[in-house]
């Protein structure tokens, strides 16, 4: 079996048992990328030589009898927003076209320590801002189920490369839904952990208080493995939480007895396509048939989540992106006469329109005279949204609903309508505002054959519960076994 068809657990097992070696795993992965990525456009950068060297070192380690890490032999693709020493880290932006960080992100260190094979850098919406891959400065990634459609965003490449079975797993980042939305649109598993569960050190910041790194996988076990490898305290990120990491990969197969699932009324209201609603309802029925109890829950402030998000995230982004000024590194304009022209020219040329739009939104929201009216108010709403979840979780173990209001839309369809684009994150954003974990699992298809995702959300640090609930569903269905035509 080629590595391209294996799940993460199967790949690791094949390597551990000696059925295959890391060099073959790397080569099969590189071959799959060569064969398929022309049609998908998931990868921005693949350093074949580096991948081969990693594989050789790993084979050597196995030969010499050294102990092997949790992910030994597993090819992982990385969203191009995570710093990797000596590899381009472009964030999908002209601004960082030639930037190679001198250091590894915490999660990259963890992957290396777990003996994973870092296989390449995947496309994204510029600085993780967007929902369709159309904001990437370099290329558009296509949905493996239908190349005329978006794979979602901003972790577009990471979702598409797993959906197209080029790698069994990948890493993305999720600020308002950037893992769950593309996972839903591409028909794979995607998980955004609790804020603080995974260190953000080395993740190029979009909105620091919302960003969280998480896994994509073809199955729940793969996500559990990757999450287990990257979680845990990092003293270099003061928002990283010092709590023990459960062995997610060990517990994932244990079904949850007496599971109470909350169904938020607000997630089945106006704006949800009937087709998506009925597929998601069908998924909830599957849970019912497995013995879970469904209860209606209320998230009364969820209607403000988009508004709060588009004040908080751009405010933080306007600040986080100030460092790209043409002075120290990154793009610098050629023509300038003064310092102000150097800044304006470099930023004007380096950033794309969506990034500029959000910087301007944030600059406005933080400016004197508007701060209380916008930013402070948004923080208050954020607290209320968190309270809604706390109240709901007093009654239920898991909250379930749609990931997106529609299946994958056509590339180009919403480019000129940013507000409509923003609505594709309407069900995912509140988890980031509340800091809770959320996952998307494949739960069916539209009539036109596009995947539809089911979102599961859990209380803070209950990723174990989330994964076990996801696996219960996966075991009872075969949606995750469907592979797209471009695979």
Partner 1 sequence: MSYDVIIGLEVHVQLQTQTKIFCGCSTAFNPDQPNVQTCPVCLGLPGALPVLNGKAFWLAVKTALALNCEIAPFTKWDRKQYFYPDLPKGYQISQYDLPFSHDGHVDVVTESGGERHVRILRAHLEEDAGKNLHDESGRGRDSQVDLNRAGTPLVEIVTEPDMRTAEEARRFLEELRLLLTYLEVSDCNMQEGSLRCDANVNLHVHQPDGGKVATPIVEVKNLNSFRFTEQAILHEVERQWEEFQRTGKTIKDAPKSTRGFDPGRGVTYPMREKEEAADYRYFPDPDLVPVTVTPADVARVRAEMCETPISRRQRFQTDYQLSAYDAAVLVDQGREVAEYFETVARAAGDGKQAANWITQDVLRELNDRQLTIATFPIPAPVLADLLGRVHRKELTLKSAREVFAALLESGEPANIEQIGQVIAEKGLAIVQDAGAIDAAIAQVIAANPKPVADFKSGKAQAAGALIGQVMKLVKGADPQGVRERLLEQLKSLP
Interface with partner 1 includes 114 (CB under 8 A)?
no
User: What is the pairing mode between strands 117-122 and 75-79?
Assistant: parallel
Q: Quick one: which H or E segment has residue 250?
A: helix 248-251
Count other C-beta atoms under 10 Å from residue 39's C-beta: 13
Q: Exactly one of 156, 170, 178, 240 is catalytic; name it.
A: 178
Which of 91, 72, 69 has its CA nearest to residue 18? 72
Interface residue with partner 1, options 41, 144, 182, 202 (CB under 8 A)? 202
Interface with partner 1 includes 343 (CB under 8 A)?
yes
CB of 89 to partner 1, least distance (A): 7
State yes or no: is 93 an active-site residue: no
Count other C-beta atoms under 10 Å from residue 86's C-beta: 12
State yes or no: is 154 an active-site residue: yes
CB of 320 to partner 1, least distance (A): 8
Stretch that binds partner 1, among 114-122, 288-296, 310-318, 387-395 (CB under 8 A): 310-318
Stretch that binds partner 1, among 99-107, 154-162, 215-223, 425-433 (CB under 8 A): 99-107
Q: What is the rounded end-to-end Cα distance, in angstroms, of the chain? A: 15
Stretch that binds partner 1, among 29-37, 43-51, 178-186, 200-208 (CB under 8 A): 200-208
State yes or no: is 79 an active-site residue: yes
Q: Give the relative orientation of helices 22-40 and 156-163 as an angle to the nearest 10 degrees.
A: 110
For residue 420 the two structure tokens come to: 């409509």
Interface with partner 1 includes 319 (CB under 8 A)?
yes
CB of 164 to partner 1, least distance (A): 27
Interface with partner 1 includes 451 (CB under 8 A)?
no
Q: Would you mind telling me the total number of residues written for the chain in this entry?
A: 487
The span from the CA of 245 to the CA of 72, in Å, is: 19
Interface residue with partner 1, options 17, 238, 242, 338 (CB under 8 A)? 238
Stretch that binds partner 1, among 54-62, 102-110, 143-151, 442-450 (CB under 8 A): 102-110
- Could you please report the per-residue DSSP string of 299-342? -GGGGGHHHHHHHHHHHHHHHHGGG-SSSSSS---S--SSHHHH
The span from the CA of 430 to the CA of 411, in Å, is: 25
Binding stretches for partner 1 (CB under 8 A) = 82-83, 89, 91, 96, 99, 101-103, 105, 200-205, 207-209, 235-239, 315-316, 318-319, 321-323, 325, 327-329, 339, 343, 363, 366-368, 371, 375
Catalytically annotated residues = 79, 154, 178
């Amino acid at each position: 079996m080629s590595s391209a068809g294996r799940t993460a657990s199967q790949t690791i097992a094949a390597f551990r048992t000696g059925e295959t070696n890391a060099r073959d795993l790397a080569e099969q992965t590189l071959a799959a990328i060569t064969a398929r990525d022309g049609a998908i456009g998931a990868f921005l950068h693949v350093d074949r030589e580096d991948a081969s060297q990693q594989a050789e070192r790993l084979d050597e380690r196995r030969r010499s009898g050294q102990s092997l890490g949790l992910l030994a032999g597993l090819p992982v693709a990385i969203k191009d927003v995570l710093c990797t020493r000596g590899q381009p880290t472009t964030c999908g932006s002209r601004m960082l076209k030639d930037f190679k960080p001198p250091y590894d992100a915490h999660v990259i260190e963890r992957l290396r320590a777990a003996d994973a094979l870092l296989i390449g850098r995947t496309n994204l919406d510029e600085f993780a801002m967007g929902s369709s891959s159309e904001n990437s400065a370099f290329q558009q990634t296509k949905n493996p189920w239908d190349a005329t459609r978006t794979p979602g965003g901003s972790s577009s490449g990471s979702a598409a490369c797993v959906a197209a079975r080029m790698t069994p797993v990948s890493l993305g980042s999720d600020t308002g839904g950037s893992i769950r939305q593309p996972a839903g649109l591409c028909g794979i598993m995607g998980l955004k952990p609790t804020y603080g569960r995974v260190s953000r050190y080395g993740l190029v910041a979009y909105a620091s208080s919302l960003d969280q790194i998480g896994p994509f996988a073809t199955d729940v076990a793969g996500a559990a493995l990757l999450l287990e490898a990257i979680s845990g305290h990092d003293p270099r990120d003061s928002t990283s939480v010092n709590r023990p990491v459960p062995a997610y990969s060990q517990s994932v197969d244990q079904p949850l007895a007496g599971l109470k699932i909350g169904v938020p009324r607000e997630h089945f209201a106006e704006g949800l396509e009937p087709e998506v609603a009925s597929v998601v309802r069908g998924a909830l029925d599957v849970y019912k048939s497995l013995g879970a109890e469904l209860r209606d829950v209320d998230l009364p402030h969820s209607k403000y989540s988009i508004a709060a998000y588009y004040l908080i995230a751009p405010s933080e982004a306007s600040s986080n992106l100030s460092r790209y000024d043409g002075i120290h590194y990154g793009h610098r304009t050629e023509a300038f006469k003064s310092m102000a022209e150097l800044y304006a020219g470099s930023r004007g040329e380096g950033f794309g329109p969506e990034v500029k739009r959000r910087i301007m939104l944030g600059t406005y929201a933080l400016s004197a005279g508007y701060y209380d009216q916008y930013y402070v108010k948004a923080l208050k709403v954020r607290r209320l949204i968190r309270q809604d979840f706390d109240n709901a979780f007093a009654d239920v173990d898991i909250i379930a609903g749609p990931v997106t209001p529609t299946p994958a839309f056509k590339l180009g369809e919403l480019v000129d309508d940013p507000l409509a684009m923003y609505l594709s994150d309407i069900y995912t954003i509140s988890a980031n505002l509340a800091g809770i974990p959320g996952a998307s699992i494949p739960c069916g298809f539209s009539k036109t054959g596009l995947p539809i995702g089911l979102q599961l959300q859990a209380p803070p640090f209950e990723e174990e519960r989330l994964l076990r609930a996801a696996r219960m569903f996966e075991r009872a269905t075969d949606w995750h076994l469907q592979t797209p035509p471009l695979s």
